[in-house]
Structure 1
Amino acid sequence: MESCISICLLSIFLFCRIVPFTHSFNSSFLPRCHDYERSALLQFKESFILEDTTLDGCYPRVESWKLVKGERGDCCSWEGVECDEETNHVIGLDLTDSCLYGSISPNSTLFHLVHLHSLNLAYNNFNLSQIPSQVGLLSRLTHLNLSFSFLSGQIPHEIFNMSRLISLDLSRSAPGLKLHKPSFKDLVQHLTNLKVLHLSSMIISSKVPELLANFSSLESLRLNDCGLQGEFPVGIFQLQNLKILDLSDNPGLKGYLPPFQLKSALKSLILPRTNFVGELPFSIGSLAYLEELHISECNFTGQIPYSFSNLSNLVYLDLSNNHFSFHSPIISSFSWVGNLTKITTLGLAGLNMKGEIPSWLMNLTQLSTVYLEFNQFTGPIPSTLAKLSRLKYLYLSNNLLSGPIPFQIYNMHELILSSNELQGSIPSNVSQLKNLEVLVLHSNNLVGSVELSTFLQLKKLRTLILSFNRLTLITKTSTNASIPKFEVLGLAFCNLTEFPRFLHSQDQLIFLDLSSNNIQEKIPSWMCSISTNSLDYLNLSHNHLTGFEKDPAILQWAKIRILDLRSNRLHGSFPLPPPSTSSYLISHNKLVGVVSALLCNLSALETLDLSFNNLSGRLPHCLGNFSDSLSSLDLRRNNFNGNIPSTWRIGCKVRMISIGYNQLQGEVPRSLANCSSLELIDFGNNHIIDSFPSWFGNLENLRILILRSNGFHGVIDKPQTKGFSNLRIIDLSHNSFTGKLPSLYFEIWDAMKVTNASHMTYMGDSMKPEQYHRFTYYGQYDYSMIMSNKGLELEYRKIPDILTAIDFSYNKFEGEIPDIIGHLQRLYLLNLSNNLLNGHMPSSLANLKELECLDLSRNMLSGKLPPELSKLTFLSSFNVSYNQLEGPIPRGKQFDTFESNQYEGNRGLCGVPVEKECENFEASPQERSNVVEDDDTGSVFKFKWMIVLIGYGTGFIFGVVVGHKITKKKHDWFVKTFGRKQQHRSQRVKRRRSRS
C-alpha cells in the first residue's frame, strides 16, 4: 500500500516538474501570434518607406518586425504589438512616431487585424491620403489615434461601425481632414460611449451638437481650431467627469461660462480666441482641481471674481486681452494672484494695467513664464525679478517701462522688452546668459556702441532684434569660435555701413532686417546666397544700395515671401523675385526698362509695389491673372504705356490698384467689376479716354476713386445701383466732365455723412500680414495716394480713415451747387473750382462742420456769401476768387484769418480783408454775433489758427498728412508769419470799428 502511495506521489511530482518544462519548451519554439496576423503586419510594414530618423527624430519600431530564417516568428514580441494572453490575437498596435511614410491603401492588410482593440498611428506621415472606408472593419476598436499623421479628405461613414470606441483622436492630421458628410452631429449620434474626443484642426465648420451635453462619461474634449460656429452648449461645462475642455481658436464660436458645480472634475479650461462673452462666474473659484485656465483673447467683461484666490492648484493662468473692469486700482485688483504659489505660467497681457510692475510677482517662486506685454506699466524693470530663479521666459513688450535693462537677470531663455522707453546701454554681462535663445529689444531708447561679438558668444541664441534704438553695432569680429545659427535677426537702424560679414555662415535665417542703415554698396553675391532654403523675410529698404554685384536673373531665396528693397538707389533693370514671393516692394529706386513677362510666374503674389521708378513699356497682361492672389498693386510714377490689363477674373481679390502718373491709354477695363473687394482705385494722371465708369458703383467696398488728369468726358450718368455708399474720397479734377453736378450721387455717399473720429486709424490697417514668426515686427503695406490740397500736390503716405474729400475742379460742370451737398457732414475737403457753376452759394454748406478746405474759385457764382459759413470753425483754406459774388464777407472766427487774394475777382464783395467797405449792407444777426468785443481778439484767433496748423483735434491735414513734406523750418515760418498777420488783422478790425 505504501509503495503504491509512493509511486503515486512520485508520478504527481514528476508531472508537476515536466509540465512546466514542456510548456516552456513549446513557448520557445511555437510562436504565439496567428500566421495570418503575422503576415498582415509584415505586409503593412512593407507598404511604407521609413523616413530618415536623423532628420525627424522618430523611432522606427517596425524595424524589429523580422523573421529569423527557419522560424515562424513571434509577432507578439515585436515592438508596438500587443496580443491577448488567452487567444494570442493581436489586440493592440502602437506605432506612434515610427517614421512611417506613405499612403494607407484601401487594400491595406492593416484591416485584416479585426481583433484590434487599440490602434495608434499618430505622428507619422501618410502623405495626405484619405482614411479608407475599410477602417470600419475594425469594429472592436475602443481606442483610435490618427493624430498628427498627414491624412486628408472626408471622414468615412464606416467609422460609425466602431460603436465600442471610448477614445477617438483625429487631431491635426492634416489641414484638409473634414467632418461634413457625415457631420459632427452624425458622429456624436453614433459614438455614444466616448470618454475622449479630440478633433483639433479638423474642418468641421458647424455647431457643436447639443447631444454632447448628455455624454456623462466624457472626460476630455478638444475641438480647437475647427471653425466651430453658433452657441456652445452650456450643459457641457456641467458634465461631472469632464477634465479637459479645449475650444481655442474658434472665433465664430459664441458662449458664456455658467455657474460651475462643486463636484466638477475640470482640470483644464482652454478658450483663447473664441467669442465667449459675459462675466466670469463667482463659482469658478469652486473648481478645486483646476490646473489650467486659459481664456485670453475672448470678450469677457466685468470684474475678475476674488474667488480666483481659491484656485490653489492653478499651474497655468492666462487672462490676457479681455475687457475686464476694475473698481480699485488695477494692480491691487490682481493681488490675489500672489497667493497662487503653484503657478508656473502667468498671462496678464493687454489688460490696460497701470503703475509699476507689481511686487506680488515675487511671491510666485515657481514662475517660469510671464506675459505682461501690451499694458501701461511704467517705471523700471525691478531687479528683484532675479530672485525668481525659475523664470526663463519674460515678456514685457509694448509698455511704458523706462530706466536701464537690469543686469541681474541671469537665467533667461527668452527676454522680450521691445517697444518701451528703456534707456542706457545694453548690459555687458548679457554674454553670460548662456541659455538665452531669444533677445528682443527693438523700439526703445537704448544708446551706445555694442560689439556684435557680445551676442555671438551665446551659442543657443536664435533670435536677436536690436532694431530702432540709437545703437551703433560694431560688426567686425576676430573671433574664430563657432557662431550661433540665427533664425531671426533684426538690425535695422543700427548705423551699419556694410553688410555684416558674419552673415556668410548663416544658413537657417527666416527673418532678416537690415533696413534704415547707411549701407552704401552693391548687394554682394555672397549676400544673395545666404539661407537660400529658409529665408522668409528680407528687408534692405532705406539704405543707399546701388544694385547687385552680379545681376541675378532671378533671386535665389527659394522660400522667401516678403522682399523689401524700397527707398534705395537701385538702378538697372527690374530684378525678378523668386516664385515664392507674396510681397515684393521695390519702390523709390532708379530702375529702368520693361517689366519681364517672367513676373507672371509669381503665382503667390499678394503685394506688388514698383512705384516711383523709371520703368517703361507695356504692363504684362498677366497682372489680371494674379487676381486670385493679388491684393495690392502700386505702379505709380513710372513711364508705363499701352492699355490697362483687362483680364481681371471673377473672384478677383485686389483691394488696391494704383497706377497714376504713367502714360496709360484706352478705357477703364470693364473686367474690374469682377474685383468686388476693391477699396482704392487710382488711375490719375494718365491718358485714359472714357466716360465716367458709373458701374464702379457695384464695388461695395470702394472708398477712394481717383481719375484726375485724364480724358474722361461727358455727363455723369445716374448711378446704376445704390452703390458708392462707402466712398470717402473722389477726385475727378482736370477732366472734361459736363452737365450738372451729380446730386444723385451726393445722396448715396453715406460714408461722407457720419462723423466718427474717436481715434485715428489708417486705410490698410486691416491688411497686416500674418505673423510669420514669433517676436518679429512685420509692418503692413500702407495705402497711399497723391492729391491736391490747398493748392499743393501732396503725397499722403498714410490715408486716415476719417479723411473725406470731393475734388471736381477743372471740368465743365454747370448749373447750381445743389443744397443736398450739405448732407455730407463728414466732408473735410470740397473743391469745385474752375468750372461753369452759377447761382447762389447754398447756405447748407454751413452744415459741413468738419470742413477744412473749401475752394469754389473761378466759377460764375453770384449773390452773397452765406453768413452761416462762419460756423465752420475748422476751415483753414477758403477761396471764392473770380466769381460774381457781392455783399459783406462773413466776420469772426476763421474768416478773420483769410487773405484778400482769396476773394479777388469779386467786385461786389466788401469788408475785411478786402479794401472795399460795406456802406449799403447791414450786418446780419449772424455776422454781428461773430464780432469779438474784447481786447484779446488777436490771441483768440491766433490760437484757433495754431490749432489748424499743428493738426490739433480733428484738424489734421497740415499736421498729420503733410508733416513729411513740411520741414520744421517751414513749419516755424508758417506759425510765425500767420501769427503776425493775425495780430495785424485784429488791430485793423479795431481801427475800422472805432472809425465807424
Structure 2
Amino acid sequence: MDQFVRLKYLSVLYLSSNNLTLLSLTSPNTTTSLPMFSELGLGSCNLRQFPNFLTQQNQLVYLDLSQNDIHGEMPKWIWEMSFDTLFLLDLYFNSLTGFHQSPTLLPWSNILFLDLSSKLFQGSPPIPSSSIMVYLASNNSFTGEIPQLFCSLSSVRVLDFSRNNLGGIIPQCLSKASKSLSVLNLNVNNFHGPVPQAWLNGNKLKMINLGKNKLTGKLPRSMARCRMLEFFDIGNNQIRDTYPFWLASLSKLKILILRSNRFHGEIKSGEFNSVFPKLRVIDISNNGFIGFLPSSYLESWIAMKSFHVEHLSYMQSSFYYHMFMAGLTIPDEYNYSMTLTNKGIKMEYTKILEVFMAVDLSCNKFSGEIPESIGNLKGLELLNLSNNILVGQIPTVIGTLTNLEALDLSHNQLFGRIPWQLRQLNFLEVFDVSYNHLSGPIPQGRQFGTFPNSSFDGNLGLCGNPLSKKCEDLEASPPPSSSTFEQNHGVGLEWRGVLLGFGIGFLVGTGLGWVVVTRNLKWFAITF
C-alpha cells in the first residue's frame, strides 16, 4: 500500500477483482501524510484484516472490501469512519463473526448500499438510517425477530435477510411500509404465523420470497395488488388454501412457486381468460390438488409457447442509486434465485436465464388424461407430472416439445404404447415413465439408447431395449422422416447426431457455466 499512499492527492483507487495481495503499510502509525480517499475498491485483495489506514479516512463515499478473508469482529472504530459521507459499504463474503460493539442503529447517516452477506454475523441485524436503498444480509446467523424499525425505511428498495435464523412473526407493517420496496427476500428462516396481510395499491414489489419458513394460514387476497410482481415463492411452508386464482391479475409474473404446502382443491379451467401470460416457471408440487389438469389454463401461458433467444439475460430487478456528494449514479441489479428439482436433483439456481421454462405439477392427486394443450408449450425444458392419478395414453404432441431435457410421467396410471414421436426429443436427458401400465415396444435409437432400465420399471407390458424382455410384435410405427418433421414444426436442424444423454441444449444454472444452443443453430454460444 506504500506506493499509493505517497500520492497525497490520490482520492480514487480501485484494485478490486485482480489476482493481487494487498500488503499493509510498512509504517502503519505514520498517518499524517496519508491521502484522503473518496472511493476505495479493495475487493478480492486477499485481505485478512481491516487495513489500519482506514481509521484516518473521514471522506470515504465508496468502500469495497468484498470477497476477502477478513476475520473476527468488526472493530469499534469502523462506526466512526466517514460518518457523514459514506454511501456504499460492501463487506460481502468475508469471515466476519460480529461487532466489537453491536450497534442497534448503524451510524452512517447517508448510507445507500450495505452488503453484509455471506458472513458469520450473529445477534439481531443492525438497523441502517432511513436513507438506505439496498440492504443485503443473507447467509448469516442473525437471530431474533425483524425489528419494527425496518418498516420506517422509506427509501429501501431491496431487503434481503434470506438464509438466517430469524424467527417470530413477519412484521405486518412490511406489507404496507414503503412503496419503494422492490425486493423482499426472507427465504430460509424460521418465521411462523400468517403472511403479512395489508399489501397496498401502487406498491413496486417485483420479488417476494417467503419460501422455506413455517408460515401458516391462507394467502392474503391483498397480494393481488402487487401488480409489478415477477417472482413469488411461498414454497415449503404450511399454507392451507385453495389455488390462488385471484393472482391472475399479476400479468408480469414469471416465477410462481407454491411447492410443499397444504394447497388443495381443483384448478378449474375457465376461471379467467388470461392467466400469467409471462409465466416461465411454475412449481405447485407436493400439495393436495385434485381434478383434471386445466387445459385452457395451460393455454394462457403465452411465454412458454416459444423459444426465442436474441441475447442471454437473467431474471432480475434493476435499479439505480445516486451518490450526490460524489457525483455518481451507479446501476445495479438483484438477480432472482430459486431451488428446483430438475432431472431428479434438487438444484440451486443462483441466476435464472429468461429462456428457462419449467412446469412441475408432481406429487398431487390430479386425475384424467394429459391434455393435448400441453403440446403448445414449445419452450418447456422440464415437465414433471409424476406421482398423480393420470390415466389414458401419453399424448403424441409431447414429441413436438423439442426443447425438453427432462420428462417425468412416472407413478401414474397411464396405459398404451410409448409414442415413437418422443424419439424426436433430441435434447432429452432424463426420461421416466416407470410404474404405469404401459405396454408394447420401447422406441429405439437416438436418446432412447441412453435411458436406464429404471426409466421403464413397473410396466409389465413393455419390451425391447434396454429391458431384457424381447418384443414379439416388432412392427412399431416407423419414425417420421426428417423432412416431414421439419415441415410440420418449422425447425431446421442441420446436426442430428445422437446426443448420448448429454443433452447438449441444457441450461443449467449451477454457477459453473451456461451452454445454449438454438434449434436452428444460427449461433452457438458457450460461456464459462
TM-score of the aligned structures, taking structure 1 as reference length:
0.49
Q: CA deviation at 1:923?
A: 2.8
Q: CA deviation at 1:667?
A: 0.7
Matched, 1:704 2:261: no
The one-letter amino acid paired with 1:913 is P
Corresponding residue of 1:874:
427
Q: CA deviation digits over 1:58-116, x for unaligned, max 9?
A: xxxxxxxxxxxxxxxxxxxxxxxxxxxxxxxxxxxxxxxxxxxxxxxxxxxxxxxxxxx
Q: CA deviation at 1:867?
A: 0.3
Q: CA deviation at 1:494?
A: 0.1
Q: Distance in 2 between matches of 1:489 and 1:822?
A: 54
Corresponding residue of 1:690:
241
Q: Distance in 1 between matches of 2:439 and 2:82?
A: 73
Q: Quick check: which one's helix share is greater?
A: 1
Corresponding residue of 1:720:
272
Matched, 1:457 2:6: yes
Matched, 1:915 2:468: yes
Q: Matched residue of 2:501: which SS?
A: helix
The one-letter amino acid paired with 1:755 is F
Q: Distance in 2 between matches of 1:496 and 1:777?
A: 25
The one-letter amino acid paired with 2:19 is R
Matched, 1:796 2:352: no
The one-letter amino acid paired with 2:12 is T
Q: CA, structure 1 residues 632+732, in 2 after alignment: closer, same or farther (shift >3 Å)?
A: same
Q: Matched residue of 1:917: which SS?
A: coil
Matched, 1:962 2:518: no
Give unmatched runs, 5+ long, in structure 2.
Answer: 483-495, 515-528
Q: Distance in 1 between matches of 2:66 and 2:353?
A: 25
Among 160, 177, 189, the residue aligned to 1:638: 189
Among 45, 52, 66, the residue aligned to 1:494: 45
Is the 1:736–1:811 Cα contact (8 Å) retained in structure 2?
A: yes
The one-letter amino acid paired with 2:62 is F
Among 504, 507, 511, the residue aligned to 2:55: 504
Q: Matched residue of 1:720: which SS?
A: coil
Corresponding residue of 1:588:
139
Q: CA deviation at 1:920?
A: 1.9
Corresponding residue of 2:493:
none
Q: Distance in 2 between matches of 1:609 and 1:963?
A: 20
Q: CA deviation digits over 1:313-346, x for unaligned, max 9?
A: xxxxxxxxxxxxxxxxxxxxxxxxxxxxxxxxxx
Q: CA deviation at 1:627?
A: 4.5
Q: Matched residue of 1:909: which SS?
A: strand
Corresponding residue of 2:18:
469
Q: Matched residue of 1:641: which SS?
A: strand
Q: CA deviation at 1:777?
A: 7.1
Q: CA deviation at 1:563?
A: 0.5
Q: Matched residue of 2:447: which SS?
A: helix
Is the 1:695–1:720 Cα contact (8 Å) retained in structure 2?
A: no
Corresponding residue of 1:753:
305
Matched, 1:945 2:501: yes
Q: CA deviation digits over 1:592-613, x for unaligned, max 9?
A: 1111112112111110110001
Q: Distance in 1 between matches of 2:118 and 2:259?
A: 26
Is the 1:783–1:798 Cα contact (8 Å) retained in structure 2?
A: yes
Q: For 1:225-624, what aligned pairs fall within 5 Å after superposition?
A: 452-478=1-27, 479-624=30-175
Matched, 1:740 2:296: no
The one-letter amino acid paired with 1:723 is V
Give unmatched runs, 5+ long, in structure 1.
Answer: 1-451, 930-938, 967-996
The one-letter amino acid paired with 2:510 is V
Q: CA deviation digits over 1:751-796, x for unaligned, max 9?
A: 00011123211001x5143464678976421111111111221111
Q: CA deviation at 1:584?
A: 0.7
Structure with higher RCO (Cα < 8 A, 6+ apart): 2
Q: CA deviation digits over 1:640-671, x for unaligned, max 9?
A: 00101111111011000001000001111111
Q: Matched residue of 2:440: which SS?
A: strand
Q: Distance in 2 between matches of 1:673 and 1:593?
A: 30
Q: Quick check: which one's strand share is greater?
A: 2
Matched, 1:811 2:360: no
Q: How many aligned positions are there?
A: 497
Q: CA, structure 1 residues 890+463, in 2 after alignment: closer, same or farther (shift >3 Å)?
A: same
Is the 2:121–2:140 Cα contact (8 Å) retained in structure 1?
A: yes
The one-letter amino acid paired with 1:877 is V
Is the 1:518–1:543 Cα contact (8 Å) retained in structure 2?
A: yes
Matched, 1:763 2:311: no
Q: For 1:854-933, what aligned pairs fall within 5 Å after superposition?
A: 854-926=407-479
Q: CA deviation digits over 1:344-396, x for unaligned, max 9?
A: xxxxxxxxxxxxxxxxxxxxxxxxxxxxxxxxxxxxxxxxxxxxxxxxxxxxx
The one-letter amino acid paired with 1:908 is G
Q: Distance in 1 between matches of 2:329 and 2:43?
A: 12
Corresponding residue of 2:337:
784
Q: Distance in 2 between matches of 1:853 and 1:777?
A: 40
Q: CA deviation at 1:896?
A: 0.8
Q: Matched residue of 1:471: which SS?
A: coil
Q: Matched residue of 1:599: which SS?
A: helix
Q: Distance in 2 between matches of 1:854 and 1:819?
A: 16
Is the 2:203–2:225 Cα contact (8 Å) retained in structure 1?
A: yes
Structure number with larger C-alpha Rg: 1
Q: CA deviation at 1:692?
A: 0.5
The one-letter amino acid paired with 1:746 is L
Q: For 1:166-177, what aligned pairs fall within 5 Å after superposition?
A: none
Q: Matched residue of 1:759: which SS?
A: coil
Q: CA deviation digits over 1:394-448, x for unaligned, max 9?
A: xxxxxxxxxxxxxxxxxxxxxxxxxxxxxxxxxxxxxxxxxxxxxxxxxxxxxxx
Is the 1:857–1:883 Cα contact (8 Å) retained in structure 2?
A: yes
Q: Distance in 2 between matches of 1:914 and 1:770?
A: 61
Q: CA deviation digits over 1:880-931, x for unaligned, max 9?
A: 11000111111121111111101101111111111111112313211899xx
Is the 2:251–2:276 Cα contact (8 Å) retained in structure 1?
A: yes
Among 681, 689, 692, the residue aligned to 2:232: 681
Q: Distance in 1 between matches of 2:287 and 2:64?
A: 44
Q: CA, structure 1 residues 460+778, in 2 after alignment: closer, same or farther (shift >3 Å)?
A: farther
Among 730, 734, 748, the residue aligned to 2:282: 730
Q: Distance in 1 between matches of 2:57 and 2:41?
A: 14
Q: Matched residue of 1:504: which SS?
A: helix
Q: CA deviation digits over 1:159-203, x for unaligned, max 9?
A: xxxxxxxxxxxxxxxxxxxxxxxxxxxxxxxxxxxxxxxxxxxxx
Q: Matched residue of 1:711: which SS?
A: coil
Is the 2:283–2:361 Cα contact (8 Å) retained in structure 1?
A: yes
Q: Distance in 1 between matches of 2:512 and 2:167?
A: 28
Q: Distance in 1 between matches of 2:445 and 2:177?
A: 56
Q: Distance in 1 between matches of 2:481 and 2:336?
A: 45
Is the 1:888–1:918 Cα contact (8 Å) retained in structure 2?
A: yes
Is the 1:891–1:927 Cα contact (8 Å) retained in structure 2?
A: no
The one-letter amino acid paired with 2:427 is F
Q: Distance in 1 between matches of 2:322 and 2:133?
A: 14
Is the 1:605–1:626 Cα contact (8 Å) retained in structure 2?
A: no
Q: Distance in 2 between matches of 1:806 and 1:456?
A: 57
Q: Distance in 2 between matches of 1:776 and 1:601?
A: 24
Q: CA deviation at 1:573?
A: 2.0
Q: CA deviation digits over 1:700-755, x for unaligned, max 9?
A: 10111100000100001333341311111111000000000011111110000011
Is the 1:752–1:824 Cα contact (8 Å) retained in structure 2?
A: yes
Q: CA, structure 1 residues 633+574, in 2 after alignment: closer, same or farther (shift >3 Å)?
A: same
Q: Matched residue of 2:334: which SS?
A: coil
Q: CA deviation at 1:956?
A: 1.5
Q: CA, structure 1 residues 915+965, in 2 after alignment: closer, same or farther (shift >3 Å)?
A: farther
Among 213, 223, 227, the residue aligned to 1:662: 213
Matched, 1:825 2:391: no
RMSD: 2.0
Is the 2:251–2:277 Cα contact (8 Å) retained in structure 1?
A: yes
Q: Percent identity?
A: 47
